[in-house]
Amino acid sequence: RTKAPGAGRKVAMLIHPRMALLDLVGPQTILRILGCDIYLVAKTLDPVSTDVGISVTPDITFDHCPNDLDVLFVPGGLMGSLVAMEDQQTLSFLADRGASAKYVTGVCTGGLVLAAAGLLKG
């Protein structure tokens, strides 16, 4: 049996209020198919309401997210991203994990959150 191309790769996907659900679920689906270990990470383990009112329950908190990530991912969602860009706890988490992640990426306005955390240069 062939090993999945993403097997063993650690991917942290930020869950934040009013994020665009599609921005999370689309990439998450592909990463799961590839066999990646996905961590849905947020400040707490409380369910988080998305832009369409569907709640997503995080797997892990900022404090317990692995330090050795292959990928740090931030979904977009205009209103949610604007709030996340002002949230110091979220920005500190992203700056910390993003500094050592092999890849830092996002979808749409998730890039603004990454920039606010100081992770995009150039």
Q: Given 22, 60, 85, 108, which residue is catalytic?
A: 108
Q: Which two tokens stand for residue 57?
A: 């329950």
Catalytic residue flag (residue 108): yes
What 3-state class would DSSP assign to 95? helix
Contact 19, 75 (CB under 8 A): yes
**Cβ contacts of residue 30 below 8 Å, gap of 6+?**
none
Catalytic residues: 108
